[in-house]
Amino acid sequence: MNHENIILWRNILLRSFVIGVLIAIVLFVATVVFWREAVGWVAYLFQVDQRALGRIVLQFFTNVRLVVVFLFLVPALALHWTARRMRKPAG
């Protein structure tokens, strides 16, 4: 893999990480703002009480964090590290 490809993939992964964080923040804000309405709808549609829904939402945001960090940020940092090593002249 040449230096330009490493830079390209690093930039794609870093931008994906930023977009993932922004979407997670928007989802969190929407969850907090519409929590009462969501509890009512979920209780009506799926017969899930508020405590169980809280656990489900917490598990969702934990999974989002794991996916965003380990599928986007970690490879981007590894590629960044590789690109910096390739840029330095040997000697």
Instruction: Let me know if residue 74 belongs to a domain.
Output: yes
- Euclidean distance between the first and final Cα of the chain, in Å? 21
Q: What residue numbers bound the domain in which 49 lies?
A: 3-85
In a domain? residue 91: no
Q: What distance in Å separates the CA atoms of residue 15 and residue 28, rounded to the nearest whole number? A: 20
Q: What's the total number of domains in the chain? A: 1
**Per-residue model confidence (pLDDT) at position 89:** 66
Q: Is residue 14 part of a domain?
A: yes
Helices (H) and strands (E) in the chain, counts: 4, 0
**Stated pTM of the model:** 0.84
**pLDDT at residue 72, as a whole number:** 94
In a domain, 20, yes or no: yes
* Residue 90 pLDDT greater than 70, yes or no: no
> Per the domain annotation, does 46 fall within a domain?
yes
The pLDDT of 77-81, averaged and rounded, is 93
Question: What are the tens digits of pLDDT across the range 20-44?
Answer: 999 999 999 999 999 999 999 999 9
Q: Is residue 79 part of a domain?
A: yes
- Model confidence over 47-57: pLDDT tens digits? 999 999 999 99
Residue 13 neighbours by CB under 8 Å, 6+ apart: 72, 73, 75, 76, 79
